[in-house]
Structure formats: C-alpha cells, structure tokens
A = this chain, B = another copy of it.
C-alpha cells in the first residue's frame, strides 16, 4: 500500500495535525510511458506554509483532499519509459507520499547522481534551498570582498548556504538564529564570522545593538528569511546602497501581516529591496547547481540535516520547522 498525507483543511493561525490526514491507497501501476518511483526522502520547506492557505500569493494554493505538495528524492522501481530504469535516482515534486507515478517525458523530474553527493543533498544544498541561497546572494546581494552579509535563519537549509558561499567569496558572514545551540553550530561548524541569538534580545533596539557589535563596518547585504523585528533591526544598521534579498517572511506566515517599522530607511540609505521566488529564475539553476555540487562534493560546503523517520512523522517535523526547531535541512526519511 501507498501511505499518503492529504491536506484536508486550511489552518487558522498556526497549522495543526487537523489540517492533514494519513491515508493508504494501492500502489499505482505504471501505464505506457510512465514511471513508478519510491520516494526515499521528503523535503520539508517553509514555502509549504503558504500553499496551505488560500490567500492570493505567487503560487496557487494546495487543493484540499489531495496529496500535500513537496520535493522528493526517489528511486525508480518500475518503468515503462525508455529514459528511466529501475534503480535510477531522481528528484521531483512527488509530495508527501511513499510512491508516485510520473510521465517519463514530463519536465521537472531531474535524474541525479547519488554517487557524487548523497541523494538527500539534492533536496538541500544541491537543490532548491541551495539555489535559493545562491540566487539571492550572488545575483541580488552580490557581495564584494570585505563587505558584510547578514542572514537570518542562519542554521537552516538556505541560510547555512548563504553564509558559507558569502565567505567563500571573500565577504564577512554574520548569522542570526534562535538559540545558543544554533548559534554555536553556525559559527563552529559552518564557519560564519559571528552569529546572534535573536531570542536573547527582547526588542529591536537590543537586537540592533548586537548587530552593530557583530558588524563593525555595518551591513552591506541582508538575505532575509524572517522579517519582523529581525528585519527592523537589520535596517537600522544597514549601509548606504545596501541590498536586501527578501526570500522569506516566516514571521508573517500565520496570517497577520507584520509591518516594517521604518521604510523611510529604504530612501535615506538608498537600499534595493528585492523579493524573489527561485522557481521564477530557472535560467540560473544549472550554473548554481554546478557550483553548489562542486562545493559539496569537495567538502568545502558543510551540510547538516535534521531527519524525521517515517511519513507519519512529517506533520510534526513540519510544525517544528515553522517553529525553528530543526538544525539545517529538514528531511523526512520515508
């Protein structure tokens, strides 16, 4: 049987178990031209929170009653398409389930080499989160050697890549994360220059003081994953001509928009603030994946994963991700 998790209702405020339902259906059989995969890894990502809502957004909401959307790394178990053989490893968007069928000629399924880097890396540093980090850092912030880049959610799948790639390009990397353990990890394991525990600062002013201390030359680039108070504090410390790549505003995902305290800084500091969705920039994926793949394969980019075991534990792991309980890339091993 194929275990699947469906989205059955939309959250009011924080999502909960009630929004999901675990079902079992027969494992489908591939028709002519189709391929059957067994999903080995499910990726959990903050964007999923947006899809649970039906607010107008850049992507259509996840329909109710259907398998929850999600990136997967999978093994081909049966194929009636000449391009795929059993044992092939592929990355696709097969959702929160154990098995899936796809049409072998469709786009959006990528064959990957699980001997170069571990298969799960294709859902993290060598996948969508990695390209997200790369695009915002390289294409939007474009740090010069010696400049300072700040990234929030620094211990996460995206933030961890942002800071490491910034350092590899000669910039100073300062992380912001929630909790002393995460900050230690960001500095000691990932090699950031500094990391600030935002939980240790009760208000914007206190957080801004900590940023000033960690960024004696000011902030030139901000890779923004959080928004709210964290962004307000960064804007107090940002240098003229600073760049803010807006990747996430997780602080506002539960419905209430969180205002930006002082947008006049955009004018007075001549900032460029740019929101982006990495799926809209497919042209950069090959270049980004090539660089990221090399960095992981040669050990210059440190990866860290939080792994939940079994599909039934995906909702709890997802809630943990939204609350920042994971360290590094949050995966479910199926």
**Residues of chain A having any CB pair with chain B under 8 Å:** 50, 56-58, 227, 231, 240, 246-249, 252, 257-277, 280
Contact = CB atoms under 8 A, between A and B. Distances in A.
Nearest to A273: B273
Chain B CB count within 10 A is highest, among A240, A248, A272, for A272
Contact of A261 (B56, B58, B257): B257
Given A58-B240, A240-B58, A259-B259, A268 B264 contact: no
Nearest to A259: B259
Nearest to A280: B270
A266 B273 contact: yes
A58 B262 CA distance: 15
Contacts of A263: 227, 231, 246, 249, 252, 257-260, 263
Contact of A268 (B267, B272, B274, B275): B275
Q: What 7 A-B pairs are tightest by C-beta distance, nearest first?
A: A259-B259, A257-B262, A267-B275, A260-B260, A266-B275, A260-B263, A273-B273
Contacts of A50: 268
A50 B267 CA distance: 12
A248 B267 contact: yes
Taken together, the copies of this chain in the complex come to 2
Contact of A275 (B56, B248, B269): B269
A269 B227 contact: no
Contacts of A273: 266, 271-274
23 contacts: A56-B268, A57-B268, A58-B268, A58-B269, A227-B264, A246-B267, A248-B267, A252-B263, A257-B261, A257-B263, A257-B264, A260-B263, A266-B274, A267-B275, A270-B274, A270-B276, A270-B277, A270-B280, A271-B273, A271-B274, A272-B272, A272-B274, A272-B275
B275 A247 contact: no
A58 to B, nearest CB: 5
